[in-house]
Amino acid sequence: MFEEFLNNKNSWLNGLGPLSGIIFSSRIRLARNFNDYHFPGHVSGSRKEAILKNVEETYPAIKSLKGCAFVRMENLDDIDRRFLLERHLVSQEHIVSVKGKGLIVSGDERIAVMINEEDHLRMQVIASGFDVSVCWEMVNDIDDEFSRLFNIAFMPDFGYLTSCPTNTGTGLRASCMMHLPALVLTKRMNKILEFLSKISFTTRGLFGEGTQALGDFFQISNQVSLGLSEKEIVDNLTAVVNQVKDQELEARSVLMEKYQTSIEDNAWRALGILRNCRLISSKEALAHLSMLSLGMDLGIIKNINRGVLNSLFIVIQPAHMQKIEKLLLKEEERDRARAEILREKLKE
Amino acid sequence: MFEEFLNNKNSWLNGLGPLSGIIFSSRIRLARNFNDYHFPGHVSGSRKEAILKNVEETYPAIKSLKGCAFVRMENLDDIDRRFLLERHLVSQEHIVSVKGKGLIVSGDERIAVMINEEDHLRMQVIASGFDVSVCWEMVNDIDDEFSRLFNIAFMPDFGYLTSCPTNTGTGLRASCMMHLPALVLTKRMNKILEFLSKISFTTRGLFGEGTQALGDFFQISNQVSLGLSEKEIVDNLTAVVNQVKDQELEARSVLMEKYQTSIEDNAWRALGILRNCRLISSKEALAHLSMLSLGMDLGIIKNINRGVLNSLFIVIQPAHMQKIEKLLLKEEERDRARAEILREKLKE
């Protein structure tokens, strides 16, 4: 399944969004639960199955989800599940203990609704670049339609009820995946991280909770979803991301003023290695792609398509390698397949 | 001076000699002294000047040196002296305390005669690849002609007298500059070095006595020049170099059997870096050129000219950078100029 995702030109990976060199993607997700059932963590497998079936039968009435596919996680093999994880369509938690878990996903991958993850519904909308408000509009529509069809758990004092108390209130998490190589190179990132933590924003790596900041990617999101309106959360995130973006731009100016040749050297070497390697790990590839992306933003390297580059960050991941090769691969075989794809996609 | 050396297609750097991927060059040098003078280390500057003048006036009668240039070392600037050193035409010793020192050098750089180095005459012939006997024939002719014109110090019991006793006898040193990356990669080189030392052969780096084995180059030469005929010395060296060459070929087979993809990866990455870097030290460049050379010999990388590659090993050296740029350069400027030359010479 999902082969069509790899070549979809309308996906959020097309790199066409605003500022997509610094802001890889914007995302909003809403956590919602049904009044008629306990939270997924507190019900049996057969009960979860009943919830899933209910959603499966009802969602075709939702206009915003027209054309979306409905997938039972247990019907997928392990590679497909990890493929969805790498594409940011499901969470780490959603690919373990898969019984009764489901996913509604649009062909362009902008919309993904997880069923029976931590909450009954986790609705997500992703956009290319810096475009949080479009995500909010889309997810708000989906939420409205779900609310008309289901009895959603909500209490006037608390707002939406969620499995984890940190999500209670709006149930909303807004995030931007930022690419901040200059802040890393100039060793300013730690200060930024401290600042973000102080103002109650969370930072994560490219692949969500608990992952390292590989490839100089930092996902910045609100920590608090209670006591603020949805609009306030979205506006706050937008303001913070704008500030961090300005810091990154400032750091890039400093790099070009003080170390131009060295930055040019690093960017071109990164491209040279990506275009010539025969074996490469995903970690090393991410580091070079990051440097290449910086080189493109700084006008050092031209003639590389931003959409091709942005999708490579995802496509070089292990499950993608296996999906593309249609084989269960050993590590060295993946490293070889990854090198081949990089050479092919980045060739002159 | 010497700009014409950089583009001479007949130089020993043309890479056209036999086995020139493994055996970069062959060389023979003879040490000779005049009966009528003390060794150069034991005479005054004006006395050395008299010797130099004598050679300058007499050498045009030597047919083998027809067309050669005569150079007073003290008339050269520092960059030209180091340029000659990097091209293996003079020794480290010959570019310090330059008063009274001279050089006769042919336009193709195959012939170089140092005057008043450690001995009154140091005659050298270099050839591309594995071609010791042609060096011997040429240097023997030059020696015969010098012997007819000068009173050469020779004693029946000792042979030719030389400033350093290790050269007494034939005064002959035969050497091959071998490129042995597979023996280094398979960690077999130390055993070879021990073996060579046991059978009284000396190994040095790319730039002579005391230099490191940069770029996996090892100059192998006879240690003993007394008690053997010239032919025996040349034959012994030829046999030893053949053995080491076979070991290198064996190590290359092992690499290709066990680590083919990894070797391909290393060779292509080396080329990728050389073709894209904007700053590179001579040490790093040598390492990549070495890997590239191995990749060419193993058929991994095609369409690169062996002569271009072999001359790059020399051309990337610091004095060459300054000579080519016609400027005294700081280190970073040299690194930048070196990267430019590598990109230009190795471009697709």
Asked if B265's CB is within 8 angstroms of A277's CB, the reply is yes
Closest to A56 in 3D by CA, of A124, A140, A120, A127: A120
Does position B2 have pLDDT exceeding 90, yes or no? no
Option in B264, B273, B336 nearest A272 (CB): B273
Q: What is the rounded distance in angstroms from the CA atom of residue B278 to the CA atom of residue A73?
A: 49
What pLDDT, in 10s, does the model give residues B248-306?
999 999 999 999 999 999 999 999 999 999 999 999 999 999 999 999 999 999 999 98
- CATH 3.30.590.10 in chain B, residues? 2-248
CB atoms within 10 A of CB B197: 12
Model confidence at B51, in pLDDT bands (50, 70, 90)? very high
Option in B268, B278, B280 nearest A277 (CB): B268
**Chain A: residue nearest B268 by CA?**
A276
Cα angle B28, B29, B35; round to 5 = 150
Q: What is the rounded distance in angstroms from the CA atom of residue B179 to the CA atom of residue B20?
A: 9
| Residues of chain A below pLDDT 50 | none
* Mean pLDDT across B309-333: 86
pLDDT of residue B208: 61
- In chain A, which residues have their Cβ closer than 8 Å to the Cβ of B273? 269, 272-273
B272: which 2 tokens?
Answer: 């990728």
Helix (H) or strand (E) holding A189: helix A189-198
Closest to A126 in 3D by CA, of A95, A90, A99, A97: A90
Helix (H) or strand (E) holding B203: strand B201-204
Q: How far is the alpha carbon of A338 from chain B, nearest alpha carbon, in Å? A: 12
Asked if B273's CB is within 8 angstroms of A271's CB, the reply is no
- In chain A, which residues have their Cβ closer than 8 Å to the Cβ of B268? 276-278
pLDDT of residue A32: 97
Closest to A88 in 3D by CA, of A102, A105, A75, A74: A105
- In chain B, which residues have their Cβ closer than 8 Å to the Cβ of A272? 269, 272-277
Greater pLDDT, B348 or A239: A239
Superfamily of domain A2-248: Glutamine synthetase/guanido kinase, catalytic domain (3.30.590.10)
**At which residue do the structure tokens 């059932």 appear?**
A37
Does position B210 have pLDDT exceeding 90, yes or no? no
**At which residue do the structure tokens 């080329």 appear?**
B271
Does position B237 have pLDDT exceeding 70, yes or no? yes
pLDDT of residue A250: 96
**Cβ contacts of B184 within 8 Å, gap of 6 or more:** B213, B216
- In chain A, which residues have their Cβ closer than 8 Å to the Cβ of B279? 261-262, 265
Closest to A29 in 3D by CA, of A233, A165, A254: A233
pLDDT of residue A72: 96
What pLDDT, in 10s, does the model give residues A61-78?
999 999 999 999 999 999
- In chain A, which residues have their Cβ closer than 8 Å to the Cβ of B280? 265
Asked if A276's CB is within 8 angstroms of B269's CB, the reply is yes
Greater pLDDT, A145 or B45: A145
Residue B118 near residue B166, CB atoms below 8 Å: no
Closest to A216 in 3D by CA, of A135, A273, A297: A297
Closest to A91 in 3D by CA, of A54, A108, A116: A116
What pLDDT, in 10s, does the model give residues B97-128?
999 999 999 999 999 999 999 999 999 999 99
pLDDT of residue A323: 85
Does position B206 have pLDDT exceeding 60, yes or no? yes
Q: What is the rounded distance in angstroms from the CA atom of residue A166 to the CA atom of residue A171?
A: 8
Does residue B35 sit at the A interface (CB-CB below 8 Å)? no
